[in-house]
Amino acid sequence: MRIFKSAFAFVALSLFVGLALTPGVACSPGNDTNNQNSTNSTTDGGTSDESTSNIPPGLDIKAEQMTKGETYKLSYTPKTSDQKVPLNELFQLEVTVLDKDGNPAKDAGLMVNACMPDHNHCMFVKPEVEKTGDGKFLVKGLKFHMQGHWEIYADVTDGKLGEKECGRACSCTSGDCATFNVWLEF
């Protein structure tokens, strides 16, 4: 009987893992079986052909946001050949931070991380932030390993650079943090 229980547990676990790793079955919101795109389409910042996408209604995917405290205006551009966030590939972002008057934030620092709020987990990699000029930053080492809704958290600091702490709770907690929504699909 013990062998039967172990074998059953193994089969059940194998099925669960297989479904979780199968694109479009366990990890895509809505499980829309009519979404049969033949290429990897990526949507971010409204830059892709939205006729092939399943962006949830009301999801603001603009690549420009104000911080929660409305102190800074942030924008980002993916440093990829097509200027889109890729799926399951390392990429970089150029981030611009302006003060509320529209001037580059000279003394600002930036801390960044990204999370899948529907799954309550962050990226598996640690991003690095480099200041490239007044209000200009290069974020290296980002990788969105799953399709679906991602949030990029960009926290404007008093000069500190690097990875924003990302625990199990996905959110922007400070007044000087901006949240960017990104929708990735196959």
CB atoms within 10 A of CB 34: 5
Give the homologous superfamily in CATH for domain 42-49+60-184. Immunoglobulins (2.60.40.10)
Distance CA 85, CA 128 (A): 17
pLDDT at 159: 79
pLDDT tens digits for the chain (186 residues)? 555 444 444 444 444 434 344 333 332 333 332 222 323 334 444 443 434 468 889 999 999 999 999 999 999 999 999 999 999 999 999 999 999 999 999 999 999 999 999 888 889 999 999 999 999 999 999 999 999 999 999 999 987 787 777 665 677 778 899 999 999 986
136-148 confidence digits (pLDDT tens): 999 999 999 999 9
* DSSP states of the chain: -HHHHHHHHHHHHHHHHHHHHSTTTSSSTT--TT---SS--EEETT-S-GGG--PPTT----SEEE-TTSSEEEEEEE-STTSSPPSSS-EEEEEEEEETTSSB-TT-EEEEEEEETTTTEE-SS--EEEEEETTEEEEEEE---SSEEEEEEEEEESS--EEPP--SS----STTEEEEEEEE--
Distance CA 138, CA 94 (A): 5
Distance CA 24, CA 77 (A): 27
**CB–CB of 100/108 below 8 Å?**
no
Do β-strands 148-157 and 177-184 pair in parallel, antiparallel, or remain unpaired?
Answer: antiparallel
pLDDT at 51: 41
pLDDT at 2: 53
**CB–CB of 119/146 below 8 Å?**
yes
Sketch the domain layout of the chain as residue ranges.
42-49+60-184
pLDDT at 166: 67
* pTM of this structure: 0.70
Distance CA 40, CA 16 (A): 24
